[in-house]
Amino acid sequence: MLNKKMLMVLFTALMVVFMAACGNNEAKDNEAGSDDGKKGLKIAIVTSPSGVDDGNFNEDNYNGILSFIEKNSDATVKAIREETGDPAAAVQAVADIVADYDVIVTPGFQFAGISSIALENPDKKFILIDSEPAAQGEQKEFDNIYAMTFAEQESGFFAGMAAALETKSNKVAVVNGIAYPSNVNYQFGFESGVNYVNAVYDKKVEVVELPAYAGVDVNNEDVGGNYVGTFSDEATGKVVGNALIDEGVDIIFVAAGGSGNGVFTAAKEAGGDVKVIGCDVDQFDDGVNGSENIVLTSGLKVMSTNVEKSLNSIVDGSFKGGNVVLQADTDSTGYVKEEGRHQLSEDTISKIDEAYKLVKEGKVVPASNFNGHTPDKFPGL
């Protein structure tokens, strides 16, 4: 009996050792799998003071990350709000966290200076939206920065067409924030779209400008238009909106950030005869005014999809740094025509879609800040 008991004890001890060994091997296998590309990306998004829940620019970029995470459940994201909007502070906010993340998403021109951080951290990836990185010496492109800008003039063009085709007063306008190139692109594109409709469909729509709010671009050139002078002055935005409405304008394309909220307010207070066109993202929900809605449609920069594509390229190994202008040929610019999210007629949609194909093919090239064309003279007009 003693021998049998001893045998049982020895057998049990051997089983414990065997099971422990199996457990250790399983843990090592999981660890190896994580190191073999299965470990999820650690993503950070650093934004302007409006944060990732701004309902507009930042949120659209954040949604691209969230969509990526839905399909890559082992990935994580941390949203970091830079409280000042100052370019130096924005870059410092990235520098403070770069060691802790695999990829950092930076929406906005204030992050152009991350190029210095990218050079110091070649093992990290950066996705920069709406700006090219600041040059470092002679270097303008970086292997670990994918910088996407958009042909805003195309989205502005579709907004201008929509305004010119739908106006009842034959007076339309665009309100901008600051005459940065991207904002001037929206203005020139809008004016190009109105002029295109006037020429092709024999209309006589006027683009109204308030001389007191003319813009001056980065080359100190007077570009006209209606510029609030900042992206965060809702009160002045409302003043500009009211002034345009007093001039008989019934459709306003709003590309002015937070200042544009004041234009929305002016349009809502004016009643149902005044409509606005949203910018960057679908702003239909912002147009709710009691039982009505003031948003006609929205000009789009398709940021979320392109952010998701960039993250996918990191995972599949195809990531390539560079400065890329995204256009209609990749469906990266456009306008809202989904049912229930606009108030365009079928005829207007048909006409804009015809022009969209021409823009996509390069047969119509709307004017932009620096492409050498003017809103009254551009290829395809």
Q: What pLDDT score does 4 carry?
A: 43
CA R_g for the chain: 26
pLDDT 10s digits, 55-110: 889 999 999 999 999 999 999 999 999 998 899 999 999 999 999 999 999 999 89
pLDDT 10s digits, 196-240: 999 999 999 999 999 999 999 989 999 999 999 998 899 999 999
pLDDT 10s digits, 268-317: 999 879 999 999 999 999 999 999 999 999 999 999 999 999 999 999 99
Q: What pLDDT score does 115 carry?
A: 98
Beta-bridge partner residues of 227 = 176
336's CB contacts (< 8 A; 6+ apart) are 278, 282, 284, 297, 298, 300, 342
CB 177 within 8 A of CB 253: no
Q: What is the pTM of this model?
A: 0.84
Tokens of 107: 């929406």
* % the chain with pLDDT above 70: 90
Task: Identify the sign of the CA torsion 175, 89, 94, 79.
Answer: negative
Q: Among 20-24, 73-77, 114-118, 318-322, which is the least confidently predicted range?
A: 20-24
- How far apart CA 292 and CA 272 sit, in angstroms, is 8
- How far apart CA 301 and CA 285 sit, in angstroms, is 17
- How far apart CA 374 and CA 368 sit, in angstroms, is 7
Beta-bridge partner residues of 128 = 106, 147
CB 128 within 8 A of CB 148: yes
**DSSP assignments along 261-277, one per residue:** HHHHHHHHHH-TT-EEE
In this prediction, residues 349-359 reach a mean pLDDT of: 98
Backbone angles phi, psi at 207, to 5 degrees: -95, 115
141's CB contacts (< 8 A; 6+ apart) are 133, 147, 321, 322, 323
Backbone angles phi, psi at 144, to 5 degrees: -110, 15
CB 196 within 8 A of CB 377: no
C-alpha angle 249/302/327, rounded to 5°?
90
Amino acid at 248: G
CB 47 within 8 A of CB 82: yes
pLDDT 10s digits, 140-193: 999 999 999 999 999 999 999 999 999 999 999 999 999 989 999 999 999 999
Tokens of 222: 């007077």
pLDDT 10s digits, 11-68: 444 443 333 333 333 332 322 223 334 479 999 999 988 899 888 899 999 999 999 9
Q: What pLDDT score does 54 carry?
A: 84
Burial (CB count within 10 angstroms: exposed 0-12, middle 13-18, buried 19+), residue 72: middle
Tokens of 129: 């939206």
In this prediction, residues 230-255 reach a mean pLDDT of: 96
- Pairing mode of beta strands 215-216, 222-224: antiparallel
Q: What pLDDT score does 50 carry?
A: 83
Beta-bridge partner residues of 289 = 292
Beta-bridge partner residues of 46 = 80
CA 237 to chain centroid, in Å, comes to 21
Residue that is written with structure tokens 């063009």 in the block: 157
> Minimal CA–CA distance to 256: which of 280, 273, 290, 272?
280
* Structural domains present in the chain: 41-150 (3.40.50.2300), 152-300+333-360 (3.40.50.2300)
Amino acid at 108: G
- Pairing mode of beta strands 251-255, 222-224: unpaired
- How far apart CA 295 and CA 253 sit, in angstroms, is 10
Q: What pLDDT score does 232 carry?
A: 84
- How far apart CA 114 and CA 321 sit, in angstroms, is 13
Confidence tier at 7 by pLDDT (50, 70, 90) = very low
Q: What pLDDT score does 99 carry?
A: 97
- How far apart CA 51 and CA 80 sit, in angstroms, is 8
Q: 3-class SS at 103?
A: strand
End-to-end CA distance of the chain: 104
